[in-house]
Homo-oligomer: A and B are copies of this chain.
Amino acid sequence: MAKLNPNYRKLSAGYLFPEIARRVREYSAEHPDQTIYRLGIGNTTEPLTPTILQGLHDRVTALGERGTYTGYGDEQGEAELRDALVAYYAQRGVTLDPGEMFVSDGAKADAANIQNLFAQGSVMAIQNPAYPVYVDSNVVAGRTGEYDAAAGAYAGLRLLEGSPDNGWFAAPPGPEQDEQLDVVYLCSPNNPTGAVATREQLQAWVDYARQHRAVIIFDAAYAEFIADPELPRSIYEIEGARECAIELTSFSKFSGFTGVRLGWAVVPYALRTEDSEQGELNRMWNRRQSTFFNGASNIAQSGGVAALSEAGQRESRALVAYYMENARIIRSALRELGLDVTGGDNAPYLWVRTPTGPDGQPLGSWDFFDQLLREAQVVVTPGAGFGSAGEGYVRFSAFGHRENIEAAVQSIRGKLRLPER
């Protein structure tokens, strides 16, 4: 008699994005004539750039010819793309080897699957708020107890509490705390807060991880949105990181590949755990990918090679600049209205504190979500959906056509009723 993996039932029914979709659907049904402005999901909207299109078309054409057709490739990615990734890191002074690069179909899959490398009883530390995949993948893997609605957390996960005071990056446990974290997820630029870890903040985590033989999972999917040259874009810019950190990243937001699907993980040879020598984690991830995955689409991989060419990078940077101008427009309008906004300068997300409600208390995330939807027809993402520390915030995404962003901002300016300052 087959039985279910019981861990799926622990996942709270009110999954964030479906719940947003439900509320928007309901509102639209009641107000069929209203235009809805969607600033909720971090989905790219601008077309692929010419160099990338050429790379994709060329590969499709090659697949149609007998001499250039290819079937299964290496599960870890095609040599040309892995070499291009190595060269890409070298541009910013980071030396890596093609054997440390694992091409994937996107950072989301890697972020969900990476936990499989670690022992069942590992203490997993996850930022609060955080991208839900880190939590949910560990729930499904059975590393948690039930969801504790009062605490807003699953029993068994160690949450790293973010707040304005720590710039939304909790520091590692201090020596007096004698606390052992085994695997630490850090996302920078952060989804949802838009905060970017400083060199000092990352160095503190790398020092902690080396001292305690913890492993950092560094999600750098938004690295290309960092404009400030003082901020690290790769964790390998930090001394000692290759002994203790895996980096996950993506072509999705940089080159508009959210639907094309392409990302990569870096698992350094130097990385080790308490119970393994250097190299074993690299070989294990290789084995994991060879067993559970069969390589990213070869067409997408050619698109990735094109994106990393000089022209491709230039065009991708223009795409990033377009979205970042959107961010500036949103931020400036929200600040004019007196809202407290962070993020949006080195990340495509703005993290906005909810205003005061009728009772003089700050509105809840979902209340402000509802207000923005009902008054201004703008969809955002409630911060509470990313964890309890996101309560009292909403996330605005800067992805969208310029005219839609401007219309959304116009709608907020004209229709949102905020308390007197």
User: Do residues B63 and A46 form an inter-chain contact, with CB atoms below 8 A?
Assistant: no
Interface residues of A in 100-145 (CB under 8 A from B): 105-106, 108-109, 112-113, 116-122, 133, 136-137, 140, 142
Query: Is A300 among interface residues, defined by CB-CB distance under 8 A?
Result: yes
User: Do residues B2 and A122 form an inter-chain contact, with CB atoms below 8 A?
Assistant: yes
Q: How many copies does the complex hold?
A: 2
Query: Is A420 among interface residues, defined by CB-CB distance under 8 A?
Result: no
Which of these binds chain B: A47-55, A85-93, A186-194, A335-343? A47-55
User: Do residues B6 and A293 form an inter-chain contact, with CB atoms below 8 A?
Assistant: no
- Contact A2/B273 with A60-B56, A63-B47 known, Cβ cut-off 8 Å: yes
User: Do residues A2 and B109 form an inter-chain contact, with CB atoms below 8 A?
Assistant: no
Contact with B along A66-94 (1 / 0, CB 8 A): 10011111000000000000000000000
Which of these binds chain B: A23-31, A274-282, A382-390? A274-282
Query: Is A11 among interface residues, defined by CB-CB distance under 8 A?
Result: yes
B-contacting residues of A (Cβ < 8 Å)? 1-6, 8, 11, 15, 41, 43-48, 50, 53, 56-57, 60-61, 63-66, 69-73, 105-106, 108-109, 112-113, 116-122, 133, 136-137, 140, 142, 180, 182-183, 212-215, 256, 258-261, 273-276, 280-281, 284, 287-288, 290-300, 399, 401
Beyond contacts A2-B214, A4-B273, A140-B292: 8 other A-B pairs, Cβ-Cβ < 8 A, are A1-B180, A2-B118, A4-B281, A5-B120, A8-B117, A44-B71, A108-B292, A260-B298
